[in-house]
Every structure is written in structure tokens, then in C-alpha cells.
Amino acid sequence: MEPMEHSGTTAAHATDGAKRVEHDSYECGATLSLTGDFQRPLTLTLDALRAHASIVADPFDLRCFTTNRFIRKVDSYRGVLLKDLIDLAGLRNERPGDFKRTIFIAVAHDGYAVTFSWHELFNTPVGEQVLVAFERGDAPLSSEDGAPLLFSAADILPAPRHVKRLARIVARVVAP
Ligand SMILES: Nc1nc2c(c(=O)[nH]1)N[C@H]1C(S)=C(S)[C@@H](COP(=O)(O)O)O[C@H]1N2
Ligand SMILES: [Mo]
């Protein structure tokens, strides 16, 4: 896994006035960290995500769970499977069967957070369609567009697990 890398454009931006500097620091914020109960916690930039094997989801209607409100049509996302990223970070299995009690909390920059279970991701069809998107309708997504953006394409109502500006995936082995 590549360490966090900077785009190398800081020097050019620094001479370009406050607006560019502001934009640059915003771009620096677009990283995704896998933390908590992983063997190898890691941090990925948007560019590092783009270098991974990816899948494409179908276009869909964004609809809120709480209000059933239709929000808008969304074109097809391209992104990396969440379970591939989890495999990179490596699950802990200190006591046999710990992995079966592991949950993953997807946390956005604004604190918005949703959960997935190990079974849901690795042992049901839902996991085949949970992706961290970096492209929409063949155009790259910037952090201003919400990237990296987590999307669970098999959900009945897509808006809750359509997480804009995903910042962290936290793994927790839970005990009864
Ligand atoms: N980062 C982040 N993503 C989020 C939310 C949020 O509050 N923060 N709300 C979710 C919910 S409940 C809804 S209905 C939609 C709202 O989408 P919109 O902000 O594009 O209208 O975003 C989803 N993704
Ligand atoms: Mo919502």
C-alpha cells in the first residue's frame, strides 16, 4: 500500500493567492482512513483510490429514508469495493470468530455516520455493491462534489448510506 502522497503542486499554489491556497488545503482533506480494529490501519488519498480496481453502479434515484423524499437522479458511480479496502487493512481475529462480530462505521467529514456488519459486506449480496466512489457518469468527482463518496447500491432507500465526503472507516469488534 502506498503511503499518503501529496500531489506535488503546493509550490505552484502557494504563489497563486489566497483562493488557490484555500482550495489546496481543501483537497488535502480528501483522504480516507481505515482505523480501529484493523491489522494495518491505512490512509488513502483520492488519487490512491483511483489507482485501485473498481466497479460501476447503476444510475439510481436518491431518496431519503426518513421522509421518503425524492432528492434527485444520480448517474452511475465508479468506485472501489469497500470490502477490498477492508481486506487491504486486514481484519483482526485475535480470538477465533472475532471477525463475525466486527462492525464498520463509515464516518463523513461532517460527523454523519452509518454502519455495516462483517456479514453484510462479506456474506450477503449487499457487500458486492458497497463502493467508495471517485467518478460519476465517467467524470472525476472532486472533494467539492463529495468525493470520496460511500454508496451502498443494493439498499432499498439509497440516501442514508450515500455518504458524502467519507473520512473514516472505523472497525470495531463488538461483544454482547
Ligand atoms: N456527509 C453527509 N452525507 C449525507 C448526509 C449528511 O448529513 N452528511 N445525509 C444523508 C441523508 S439522510 C440524505 S437524505 C442525503 C441528502 O442528500 P443531499 O444533501 O444531496 O440533498 O444525504 C445523505 N448523505
Ligand atoms: Mo435523509
Residue spans of beta strands (DSSP E) within 12-76:
31-36, 42-45, 55-56, 60-63, 70-74
Cβ contacts of residue 63 below 8 Å, gap of 6+? 69, 70, 71, 157, 158, 159
**Domains, in order of start, for the chain:** 31-173 (3.90.420.10)
Burial label for 22, CB within 10 Å (0-12, 13-18, 19+), is: exposed
Nearest ligand to the C-alpha atom of residue 70 = 1
> What does the alpha-carbon distance between residue 47 and residue 11 come to, in Å, rounded to a whole number?
19
pLDDT along the chain (176 residues), means of 10: 37 39 49 98 97 98 96 98 98 92 98 98 98 97 97 97 98 96
Which of 60, 69, 112 has the most ligand 1 atoms within 8 A of CB, as the residue to mutate? 112
Q: Determine the distance separating the centroid of ligand 1 and the alpha carbon of 90, expressed in angstroms.
A: 29
Q: Write down the pLDDT at residue 21.
A: 41
Nearest CA to ligand 1 atom 9: 160
DSSP state of 5: -
Q: Write down the pLDDT at residue 29.
A: 55
Which residues share a beta bridge with 81? 131
